[in-house]
Structure 1
Amino acid sequence: MRLLLLGAALLCSFNAVAAFPPSSDTAYMPKPEYPAELANVVGDARISLNIHNDGAVTDVKVLSATHEAFGVAAKAAAEQWRFQPWKVTANTPAVVDAQNTMIFSPALTPDPFPDAQSVMHNMLFQPCSALNEELALFRKSYPKQPLSSAPTFAKTSAALLLPVFASEPESQEGMKLNRQLIDALPDIVRRCQEQPARMYSSVLPKDLQKVFGIPG
């Protein structure tokens, strides 16, 4: 399974909560502008949006952002997105509810997004202490959002769900693994709190470690 986030140029995790995800291959998805006032700051913003069968996007909302300006930039970009229209059938709804995480970094210009593989590596091999801090801030700022919306977990889901969006044969396996991740989140959080020196990748379920190439 490829470990690239959907739309590597955007480096955004695009996690539809409906059974039918629209394809990003023919989508128009301009990147957000990096806020000039946040010099040398790396962060992310997670949004929700509705994608309609005519390709239009509506109801873009900021779910979380490490800085308000990142949320504003992400929302402004997503409101311009357009997708390939599809025919409504019994298996393809007229509207898809989706969520998306965008990573912001000033390190690369003019493209403000870090390399997808580097972000995945840094995420998987971050210490549990860093994840614990992220979750504490996330819960304080967004107490009504589920654990799966926290940045690290959302990005992990995006990597697992990539075959779904690419309409690959492994799509069913991707959805199964993502469900396994979501079910394991309380245990992942508990283990990280108990052993903050461990790496995030080491507390993932064994099947997920195998997918990400983590040595057993």
Structure 2
Amino acid sequence: MRLLLLGAALLCSFNALAAFPPSTDTAYMPKPGYPAELVDVVGDARISLNIHNDGSVTDVKVLSATHEAFAVAAKAAAEHWRFEPWEVTADAPAVIDAQNTMIFSPASAPNQFLNAQEVVHNMLFQPCSALNEELALFRKSYPKQPLSSAPTFAKTSAALLLPVFASQPDSQKGMTLNHQLIDALPDIVRRCEAQPARMYSSVLPKELQKVFGIPG
């Protein structure tokens, strides 16, 4: 089994815009068990959770998943996560609303990193028509979730936060770029709906296209 925690730097709630993500360097984050029936299937699951200042985790929820078994495995693992405790201050609240995307890659994949790169590449170069269909299903299935939790947008956010996928120099730059993505989501959706034959990558803001190495 191979599994990549693509959102290794936890995404704080986009509504709160908190600048205090708990460090994953000292976190206990066991990986999910790989569903036996999906041993040769690539997929992903996105979860939300509350992280408390004593390091505990509560309210783990699945926001989206490519397969129900991935959703179950991701939720079960995240419920056992623990983080380094912190002191509550004005800049470090007692509870952090976080999100994380997990990409499941089969053990048969020759290289975990290259497989994850392929997932990101396929996401960026999917046609807008595919994104439109995804968003229609997402809104029907998760009517109370924000656009940022839709699978494509969640994976784009996670990729921006990992320098290995986007050519940004540090995590703070990644957070800045991620906020730009969130602000641009309504426009991205409108442009894709108006031009379904376009590629998703072509409707991203120019700065995001640049960090992903997409020709302007």
Place the TM-score, normalised by the shorter chain, in its bin.
0.7 to 0.9
1:61-210 matched pairs, under 5 angstroms: 61-106=61-106, 108=108, 115-162=115-162, 170-210=170-210
Deviation of the 1:25 alpha carbon: 1.5
| Cα offsets for 1:43-83 (capped at 9, x unmatched) | 32221111122222122112222322221111111011112
Structure-1 residue corresponding to 2:47: 47
Cα distance change on mapping 1:148 and 1:86 into 2, 3 Å: same
TM-score calculated relative to the size of structure 2: 0.82
Cα distance in 2 for residues equivalent to 1:111 and 1:54 = 37
Rounded Cα–Cα distance in structure 2 between residues aligned with 1:97 and 1:110 = 35
Moved over 4 A (4+): 109-114, 168-172
- 1:109 Cα deviation after fit: 6.5
TM-score computed with the length of structure 1 as normaliser: 0.82
Contact 1:11 1:114 in 2 (8 A): no
Distance change >3 Å, CA 9–CA 142, structure 1 → 2: closer
AA matched with 2:193 = Q
- Counting aligned pairs with the same residue, the percent is 82
Helix, strand or coil: the match of 1:115? helix
Q: Distance in 2 between matches of 1:113 and 1:37?
A: 23
Partner of 1:91, secondary structure, is: coil
Name the count of aligned residue pairs: 205
Which residue of structure 2 aligns with residue 22 of structure 1?
22
Q: Which moved more, 1:197-206 or 1:171-180?
A: 171-180
Structure 1, unaligned runs of 5 or more: 1-7
CA distance, structure 2, for counterparts of residue 25 and residue 132 of structure 1: 37
Q: What's the counterpart of residue 5 of structure 1? A: none
Which SS does the other structure have where 2:36 is aligned? coil
Unpaired stretches in structure 2, ≥5 consecutive residues: none
Q: Distance in 1 between matches of 2:51 and 2:84?
A: 10
Contact 1:127 1:199 in 2 (8 A): yes
1:10 maps to which residue? Answer: 5
| Root-mean-square deviation over aligned CA pairs | 2.7
